[in-house]
Amino acid sequence: MEPLLIEHGVVVTLDADRRVIRDGAVMVEGTHITDVGKTDELHRMYAPAHTINASRKLVIPGLIDCHVHLAQALIRGCADDVSLLDWLGKYVWPLQGNFDAEDGKVSAKLCMLEMIKSGTTSFIESMTHTRYGFDGIAKALEESGMRGCLAKTIMDTPAYGRKQMMYEGMIEDGERSLTETTTMYDRWNGKANGRINVWFGPRSLGACSKALYERIAEEAAKRRAGITMHLCEVKEDLQYARRKFTKSPVAFANQVGLLTPRTVLAHAVWLTDRDIATLSKTRTNVSHCPSSNTKLASGIARVPEMLKKGVNVAMGCDGGPSNNSYDMIREMKLAAYIHKVRLSDPMTMPAETVLEMATVHGARAIGMEGKLGTLEPGKLADIVLVNLDSVHMVPNNNHVSDLVYAGTGTDVDTVIVDGRIIMENRDVKTLNEREIIGEARERASALLARTGVKLTTHSNYR
């Protein structure tokens, strides 16, 4: 790749001094950032053949989505306005439980396309079922140019806090699912110049035995691999854990070895002060998913309290039926707003804090704090350019506020990963947008037809 100079932008570095550089520039050589400063200063030092004029654009680190369901892009809008147990049992599981590997690949591509177009450069896929086709998804990730941590689903009990409620097509065997995880780790971890990582994805409490959780913790530790799981998403999780294990879900997860600096817990809504202290002590990461938690009425995570106690809280969009978007810029706004009203404090969770969660904290959560999350020399060149000319962003009085409180993913103009431009002028260069949209519509229609699932809607279609 040729050296690249991004010039004349408003550069939000998120470095230790939290510098925002007007008429700023970022020099990229190979896969890394080599310099950041004023445009005139970098012009005196470099004369690259390739430049990007970022005038009237915000230049930010790539956004990191720490809780994604790739397979759920294909079932967007299929489970709206229903309770969580119905959401799972009547809609999401029957649909996903009838996927084939081609459905899994097309859904993953659709999701990655949306993430690229809204400024996400790295993500954690939380649960890749065998039937989704891990190899096809990993190949799609390689093709997309993004970074991804792909967690293979592991389970040995067909439940979700209750016996025998899981849809048959979603059930996996414990030994087989764990073996497949280690096989995929050996096959894909570190591939695509390190852009692909394979994680362990145990299902939430009720779907794994204590012995299996312990084995997962052991196997992940051997490989220094990441672990991600849903925990304390709903109140029922607390009731189940206390009935089954006589302790909180967090205390149980700690007992079986799942709480580590390599672990990302999705949701973590229903936490006690003691739970928060445990997460802080073990340096376990949390992915805050405000859209999903509010849509499903799961609750509001105690994010300001966690941050105050030193817990690393990142952010996640979750999935197509629970959000229903994979737009991290929209997610940031909600993350800021809901805590202000919950605590009756307009000063909590300022825009800068939320942006840090989507970048700096995300990098720490995926184990890449020294490589991603800020725009500094020596960091990998994962960079996003955001258009400041959109009418809802003008007059550009406060750039971080504009991004978090007024912006949307459609304002993203250019996306760079590993020094490679994967979207420019909103044209994605690595994936065929028209083809993916067409395939997704066909696959979704066929899936609904063969499952017979009737969508929830209050509209009168004719």
Amino acid 49: pLDDT: 87
Burial of 48 from C-beta contacts in 10 A (0-12 / 13-18 / 19+): middle
Amino acid at 355: L
Is the pLDDT at 160 greater than 80, yes or no? no
312-330 average pLDDT score: 97
Instruction: Let me know the angle formed at the C-alpha of 10 by 7 and 13, rounded to the nearest 5 degrees.
Output: 100
- Domains of the chain, CATH where assigned: 4-61+375-426 (2.30.40.10), 63-365 (3.20.20.140)
Amino acid 266: pLDDT: 98
Amino acid 459: pLDDT: 81
- How many other CB atoms are found less than 10 A from the CB of residue 452? 8
Q: Average pLDDT over the chain, rounded to whole?
A: 96
| Nearest to 384, CA basis, from 355, 354, 353 | 355
Sequence-distant (≥ 6) Cβ neighbours of residue 113 within 8 angstroms: 144, 428, 431, 433, 436
Q: How far apart are CA 373 and CA 12, in angstroms?
A: 11
Structure tokens at 411: 């304002």
Q: How far apart are CA 429 and CA 124, in angstroms?
A: 22
Asked whether the beta carbons of 166 and 159 are under 8 A apart, the reply is yes
292-299 average pLDDT score: 95
β-strands 32-38, 383-387 pairing: unpaired
Amino acid 161: pLDDT: 53
The DSSP 8-state label assigned to residue 442 in this structure reads H
Is the pLDDT at 273 greater than 60, yes or no? yes
Amino acid 320: pLDDT: 94
134-153 average pLDDT score: 98
Structure tokens at 202: 């145990």
Amino acid 1: pLDDT: 80
Is the pLDDT at 447 greater than 90, yes or no? yes
Identify the sign of the CA torsion 96, 120, 296, 232.
Answer: positive
The torsion of the CA quartet 35, 37, 43, 46, rounded to 10 degrees, works out to -10
Per-position DSSP letters for 258-303, written without gaps between them: --STTEEEEE--S--HHHHHHHHHHT-EEEE-HHHHHHTT-----H
The number of residues in the chain equals 462
Identify the sign of the CA torsion 79, 80, 84, 90.
Answer: negative
Please report which confidence band the pLDDT of residue 154 belongs to, taking 50, 70 and 90 as the band edges.
very high
Give the DSSP H or E segment for 384: strand 383-387
| Nearest to 58, CA basis, from 351, 396, 381, 382 | 396
Amino acid at 311: V
The DSSP 8-state label assigned to residue 380 in this structure reads B
Asked whether the beta carbons of 94 and 451 are under 8 A apart, the reply is yes
Is the pLDDT at 162 greater than 70, yes or no? no
The DSSP 8-state label assigned to residue 419 in this structure reads T
Global confidence as pTM: 0.97
| Nearest to 182, CA basis, from 122, 126, 134 | 134
Amino acid 456: pLDDT: 75
136-150 average pLDDT score: 98
Please report which confidence band the pLDDT of residue 394 belongs to, taking 50, 70 and 90 as the band edges.
very high
Q: How far apart are CA 368 and CA 203, in angstroms?
A: 24
Is the pLDDT at 220 greater than 90, yes or no? yes
